[in-house]
Structure 1
């Protein structure tokens, strides 16, 4: 995939990049490693949370190409004139958000799948306040495992200039979250469940799964999940094929 230009930092998801701190500190192409959870009450989970690093050379980014799923599914790239410390302070404001019922929730904004859905939900009105000192935020865009493979690309997100923004995101807290953002996070959860079901069917019901057209698998999974939601938790993955 075509590499972004001008990136200064990488944001690593510790869950997607196991033993993150040990691996990052062993590299010579990154420095100023900032585990963002260290500044929060989740400091004991610092190795599993968002980790900001400054890029010294291209080696770390080279690892995040289309041939290395762990790479592009575990990090996103940032361009900013701000220092690593200033970026860390801003990103720490994204750690939690208020859900639809007002409850505080963790926002896994370092997970590229979450990041891409979340930032895309603002459409062409990505708030400048949300991006803060970030000039460009690049997130990998890849096909889900239930459909045809396609080349991975880097999707660039840039802030809407504050004096031109005409969209107000309904929220009294930071980060600004509204109906579209909550829907995006729900879409992430459904994507992840559909991928787990695809893995399950590929292993345990391969013959039946192969009879479904690749183009129709996503729709079929959505229909089965909607059925399961309507009928309640009693329906499990192993019985889904029986409903066709």
Structure 2
């Protein structure tokens, strides 16, 4: 993978970073480091927040960091002619921006997955304001673990108009950006569900190509949501049941689910989340009788 030309800042997600922060001291003489949570109410968690780094002299910092392919999962790079403290001051209002639903929450924009969906949802005008002193922001496109290995592709977000000399940062998330963050959450949940299900049954996805796996996960999760399930735990139980009993388990005559309901009619009145959990408990306690 060749690094983007002129990239001189490295942004690391502290949650996803598997290296210890002390590892950065090998570059101490040639870099500046800022923990973006420092000086904020999240300072006690600053090691888990965004870590902004900039070589202060010619350095191999960025190329060395990206020599580890795993770093592409928790790092992005960008270019700016400004000092590190100026870029830091610009980014900090985005740590916990208000949103269109009159709420607020931590925005992990240092996570490449979040950055990809968040930045992709912006209009040109919003992107110019958001980037501010940043000229170009390179984000590796997310790839699922079941997809064929390939060289990481980059998505480039560039400021079109010159950055104003000074302007207030109006950090907020509109409905389009909230929807984009929901997509990022769904992407991550599909990845987590795949990892869990593949570990649970290594034969489940055997023989499927990457598109078939994607389709299976999408159909499984969508059907659970349509059935009325909420919450990741309930959806994982739903996916496990699909894997064991088939996609038609709720409608198959004389199948384990309808047989269970016939013998336990009160369970039909349970809300979907409680019903799937009750059926899962039944299956686990009656393994010999809960299969076709």
TM-score (ref. length: structure 2):
0.73
Long gaps (5+) in structure 1: 164-172
Alpha-carbon distance in 1 for matches of 2:140, 2:108: 16
Bigger share in helix: 2
Alpha-carbon distance in 2 for matches of 1:207, 1:194: 18
| 1:145-191: CA deviation from partner (whole Å, max 9, x where unpaired) | 2333322022211023279xxxxxxxxx8324222211111111111
Pairs within 5 Å for 1:103-142: 103-122=103-122, 124=124, 126-142=126-142
Alpha-carbon distance in 2 for matches of 1:224, 1:29: 52
Larger relative CO (CA 8 A, sep 6+): 1 or 2?
Answer: 1
Alpha-carbon distance in 2 for matches of 1:142, 1:29: 33
Alpha-carbon distance in 2 for matches of 1:204, 1:58: 42
1:243 alignment counterpart: 246
| 1:201-231: CA deviation from partner (whole Å, max 9, x where unpaired) | 2222221211433212212211111122233
RMSD: 2.3
Alpha-carbon distance in 2 for matches of 1:152, 1:218: 19
Does the aligned pair in 2 maintain the 1:33–1:53 contact within 8 Å? yes
Long gaps (5+) in structure 2: 164-168, 248-292
1:3 alignment counterpart: 3
Equivalent pairs counted in the alignment come to: 233
Cα distance change on mapping 1:85 and 1:95 into 2, 3 Å:
same
SS of 1:4's partner is coil
Pairs within 5 Å for 1:64-79: 64-65=66-67, 68-69=69-70, 71-79=71-79
Bigger share in strand: 1
Does the aligned pair in 1 maintain the 2:14–2:49 contact within 8 Å? yes
Alpha-carbon distance in 1 for matches of 2:99, 2:9: 29
TM-score (ref. length: structure 1):
0.86
Does the aligned pair in 1 maintain the 2:75–2:110 contact within 8 Å? yes
* Residue 101 (str. 1) matches residue 101 (str. 2): yes
